[in-house]
Amino acid sequence: MATARSAVRTALLKEHCRKFSTPRCRTYSGCWNSTMNPQRSEVAMSELRSIPVILLGLGNVGSTLLHQILETRQEVARRRGVRLTPIALADVSGLIADPNGLSEEILRAALQTVSQGRFLEALGDIQPLANVTSLLRPGVLLADLTASPKTMPTLYAALEANSGLVLANKIPLAAPWDKARPLFEYPALRYEVTVGAGLPVIATLHYLLDTGDQVIAIEGCLSGTLGYLCAELERGVPYSQAVKQARALGYTEPNPRDDLSGKDVARKALILARTAGWTLEEHDLSVEPLYPSTLENVSAEEFMQALPALDEAYAARFQQARTEGKTLRYVAQVGPQGGKVGLVAVPQDTPLGALRGPANFISLRTRRYDEVPLVISGPGAGRAVTAAGVLWDLIELGQRTGIA
C-alpha cells in the first residue's frame, strides 16, 4: 500500500514538474521539481534557462535590483534553474542594449555610473529610448522601475509583443480605468511591489479571489514614508526634520511631494481596489495632503525650505491626539464605492497605533475573514526590500510556461 502511494506521489510530482517546467531535483528519478523539495540539488548549466530582462529606470530601486541580479545569480540558478540576463538598461538619457545579453563588465560599469549621479549616456554607445520596443518579444521580461507615466506606450508595446511585464511603477495601474484595464487583464503581469514593497499584499488578494472569497473592505497604512513620518512626529521630531530624514534614508518617492500629497497612497489604494475587482477612479477617493496648496507648484528646493513653517501645526495635532490617548496615522480606507486617504486618530494600543518606522499595515476584510480581518504587516519601504520584490516577480514570471 505504501509503495502504491509512493508511486502515485511520484507520478503527481512528475506531472506537476512537466506542466511547470521546473528544474531537476535529486529525490525522485526523472522528477523536474526543485521548488517542492527542500533538499534541492545543483542544476546543470545545460539545464539553465536564460531569461532576457529589460530594466526601465536605474534610480534607487532599479540600481539596487541590478546589483541583486548580479549578486544572486548563482543562488537563483541553483534554486530555480534560471538565469536573469539583462539585455537592456534604460534611463532618461537613453538605452544601452545587446540582444544577446549585456556583459557583466558593462552592467557593473552602469552601476558605478549611476552611483556617481551620472546617466547611462556617460558610458557611450547610447541608443534612443524608442529602440526598446525592437527588443520586445515572447520570452522577454520588461521591468518598469520608473515613477513616470511616459512608459505607458512601451508597456502597451510589451502587451502586443506578448512579453512579460513586472511593474514597480504605480502610475500606469492607477491611470484612468480605460487605460489601466489592459494591464490588469494581461496574464503575464506582476506588480507585487506597487503596494507594500516586498510584502505579499497583491499575492494575498489574488489568493483570496482565486479561491472564491469576496473582499468587503481594505484599510491600512500603505506608505512606509508616511508611517516613518508619523512615528517621528509622535516622538516629537519636527515635521520638517522628519521629512528630511525620510528623504535621506531613501524612503520617499523621487519627488517627496508624491508622498506628502497623499497621491502615492491614493495610487496604492486604487491598485488594491482594482485588484479586488472594484473599478474605481481617482476621483472616487478623497485625499488629505500634508502640505498647503500654496506649495503645490514651487520648486523642490523651495518646497523643502518652506517645511519648517508647518512644524508648529503638526506638533499641535499630535499633541492633541496624545492627550486623548491616541496618535495619528496616515490611513487609506477603501471599499466597492470609494474611499478616503488621510490622517486618522487611532488608539495607541491598537495595531495601527503601535506601528513604528516605515512599517506597513494592511487589513483585508472579506467574506471569510469578516469578524477578524486578515492582516499583513511589515517593512513597507526601502530600496532593498522593494528591489527584492521585483526580483521575485521576475523569477516567478520567468518560470511560467510560455514565458521563459
Which comes out higher in pLDDT, residue 43 or 34? 43
Q: How confident is the model at residue 155 (pLDDT cuts 50, 70, 90)?
A: very high
Does a structural domain hold residue 13? no
Please determine, for residue 178, whether its predicted confidence score (pLDDT) is greater than 90: yes
Domain at 291, CATH number: 3.30.360.10
Alpha-carbon span 307 to 363, nearest angstrom: 32
Nine cell digits for residue 286: 478623497
Please determine, for residue 47, whether its predicted confidence score (pLDDT) is greater than 90: no
Do both 76 and 164 map to the same domain? yes
Do both 136 and 245 map to the same domain? no
Does a structural domain hold residue 24? no
Does a structural domain hold residue 183? yes
pLDDT digits (tens, 9 = 90+) for 236-289: 999 999 999 988 887 776 678 888 999 999 999 999 999 999 999 999 999 999
Strand ranges inside 80-199, DSSP E: 82-91, 94-97, 141-144, 164-167, 189-190
Q: How confident is the model at residue 168 (pLDDT cuts 50, 70, 90)?
A: very high
Average confidence (pLDDT) over 80-106: 97
Do both 115 and 259 map to the same domain? no
Contact assessment for residue 251 and residue 150, using Cβ atoms and an 8 Å cutoff: no
268 counts as catalytic = yes
Please determine, for residue 73, whether its predicted confidence score (pLDDT) is greater than 60: yes
Range scoring the smallest mean pLDDT among 96-100, 105-109, 124-128? 124-128
Please determine, for residue 329, whether its predicted confidence score (pLDDT) is greater than 60: yes
- What pLDDT shows up at residue 44? 53
pTM of the model: 0.86
Does a structural domain hold residue 26? no
Average confidence (pLDDT) over 47-59: 93
Q: What are phi and psi of 104, to 5 degrees?
A: -60, -35
- What pLDDT shows up at residue 267? 96
Q: What are phi and psi of 378, to 5 degrees?
A: 160, -175
Q: Measured in whole angstroms, how far is the alpha carbon of residue 196 from the centre of its chain?
A: 7
Residue 60 sits in which domain range?
45-197+386-398
Do both 149 and 219 map to the same domain? no
Do both 189 and 59 map to the same domain? yes
Alpha-carbon span 199 to 248, nearest angstrom: 23
Do both 174 and 109 map to the same domain? yes
Do both 170 and 214 map to the same domain? no
Pairing of strands 82-91, 49-56: parallel
- What pLDDT shows up at residue 279? 96
Do both 158 and 291 map to the same domain? no
Q: Which range scores top for mean pLDDT: 14-28, 36-50, 374-388?
A: 374-388
Q: How confident is the model at residue 65 (pLDDT cuts 50, 70, 90)?
A: very high
Q: For residue 257, how many C-alpha atoms fall within 13 Å in the half-sphere facing its CB?
A: 16
Q: How confident is the model at residue 46 (pLDDT cuts 50, 70, 90)?
A: low
Out of 14, 150, 263, 268, pick the active-site residue: 268
Does a structural domain hold residue 239? yes
Instruction: Give the helix/strand (H/E) hosting 134.
Output: none
What mean pLDDT, rounded, does the chain reach?
88
Average confidence (pLDDT) over 162-185: 98
Range scoring the smallest mean pLDDT among 33-42, 162-171, 254-263, 327-336? 33-42
- What pLDDT shows up at residue 3? 41
Alpha-carbon span 117 to 111, nearest angstrom: 10
C-alpha separations of 253 from 137, 243, 334, 378 in Å: 31, 12, 22, 19
Does a structural domain hold residue 298? yes
Burial environment of residue 349 by CB neighbours within 10 A (0 to 12, 13 to 18, 19 or more): exposed
Does a structural domain hold residue 4? no
Please determine, for residue 404, whether its predicted confidence score (pLDDT) is greater than 90: no
Alpha-carbon span 240 to 250, nearest angstrom: 16
Does a structural domain hold residue 12? no
Do both 344 and 234 map to the same domain? yes
Do both 253 and 138 map to the same domain? no
Burial environment of residue 154 by CB neighbours within 10 A (0 to 12, 13 to 18, 19 or more): buried
Do both 331 and 279 map to the same domain? yes
Please determine, for residue 12, whether its predicted confidence score (pLDDT) is greater than 70: no
Range scoring the smallest mean pLDDT among 210-219, 251-260, 313-322, 369-378? 251-260
The domain tally of the chain equals 2
Domain at 121, CATH number: 3.40.50.720
Do both 136 and 233 map to the same domain? no
For the chain, what is the total number of helices (H) and then of strands (E)?
14, 12
